[in-house]
Amino acid sequence: MVSSSRTVKGKHVLITGGAGFIGSHLVDLLVLEEVRQLTVIDNFFLGTPSNLNGAYRQMPDLRVLHIDASDECVVREAFSRMEAVDVVFDLAVIPLPTSLERPQFCFETNVRITSVLCELLREGCFETLVHFSSSEAYGSARSIPMSEDHPLDPLTPYAASKAASDHLVRTYAATFGVDALVVRPFNNYGPRQNDQQYAGIIPTMLRCAFEGRVFTLLGDGQQTRDYIYVTDTARTALDLYKCSQARGKVVNIGSGQEISIIDLKTKIEQILGRTIPSQYRDPRPGDVRRHRADIALLKSLIAFEPQISIDEGLTRTVEFYRKRADHTLIGEH
């Protein structure tokens, strides 16, 4: 493991997509880091202001700009009005499920967001870009575990947008020598993941459980994922920024473990103490079959060990959505 480090202390940190799932947990971490200024850019496509409630309590001068990160003019204008930015964590995204209904919108928006930030970085509007990729860029595993050298073979327009954005960031680093890092998380889970339209599988399963509806499992349930708890991802991305040797690299963030969707469902049912009525349907188009991260590079750069086990993380997640369901029910009466 390498040791040299940099800091966010005293810096102006900007987070695109900071009102979303992973972004809001990253904001929670950064408010504890003595940053000079923290700015969020989010257009609330899926993120919500309430995801930032805790951060506001800690840092009342947290700035949230309700703007579209893919609109170059608007983003340039925002940068020209604010105090100099040091580092941008780029998490704004149109998610995978949207790409199955609106492929062009998803692809173009995601690539555009990255392209706008790359240009501003090249022009010196900020110093460092930490871009969030996704394991979806790999497609289904050709070899296990999946290292950063695994071919990029995206299966959905969302995955194509993630792969294209990664290439763009890397070419800007190679061509213009800008300071950019690509972190590539595997599947995240935990509190604040969107559970409405375009929701992921865990929030969908839990909503069905709490609303007494039948859960539809797409495929045979034997597809696997490498799940990592959201606060572990946020902390690891920040640690990678702090690690000077990670500059210019693409680095996987995962647990290094894989779990099938059917086993995941069984674990959730054990926590709930009951089964979730389910029906099986055809696999989702472009569903990857197998994912497990190779985290050797990550471990060579920082002292990485997931702090939250899958059992603990799922218990916390179930409690979060249970409370949310209770609030919704109270609100309805």
Q: Which stretch binds ligand NAD (CB under 6 A): 98-106, 129-137, 299-307, 310-318?
A: 129-137
Could you tell me the two tokens for 110?
């995601």
Which residues, including other chains, have CB under 8 Å from residue 49's CB and lie 6 or more apart? 19, 64
Tokens for 295? 């985290």
Region of 86-94, 138-146, 263-271, 318-326 interacting with ligand NAD (CB under 6 A): 86-94
Rounded Cα distance between 25 and 4, Å, is 25
- Residue from 8, 14, 41, 310 that binds ligand NAD (CB under 6 A)? 41
CB of 225 to ligand NAD, least distance (A): 9
CB of 208 to ligand NAD, least distance (A): 19
Site string for ligand NAD, 165-204 (x = CB under 6 A): --------------------x-xx-----x----------
Choices 29-37, 68-76, 138-146, 201-209 (CB under 6 A): range interacting with ligand NAD: 68-76
Select 5 or 146, whichever has its Cβ closest to ligand NAD: 146
Q: Which is nearer to ligand NAD, 48 or 315 (CB)?
A: 48
In terms of Cβ atoms closer than 10 Å to its own Cβ (0-12, 13-18, 19+), residue 103 is middle
256 lies in the binding site for ligand NAD (CB under 6 A): no
Pick between residue 81 and residue 212 the one whose CB is nearest to ligand NAD: 81
User: Among residue numbers 6 through 35, which ones bind ligand NAD (CB under 6 A)?
Assistant: 16-17, 19-23
What is the separation of C-alpha 16 from the centre of its chain, rounded to a whole number of angstroms? 11
Q: 59 to each of 8, 53, 76, 230, 232, how far by Cα in Å?
A: 15, 10, 25, 21, 22
Cα(317)–Cα(258) distance, rounded to whole angstroms? 18
**Cα 65 from Cα 74, distance rounded (Å):** 11
The contacts of residue 292 (CB under 8 Å, 6+ apart) are: 141, 144, 145, 146, 186, 224, 226, 254, 256, 257, 258
In the complex, which residues of this chain contact ligand NAD (CB under 6 A)?
16-17, 19-23, 41-47, 68-70, 91-95, 109, 113, 132, 134-135, 162, 185, 187-188, 194
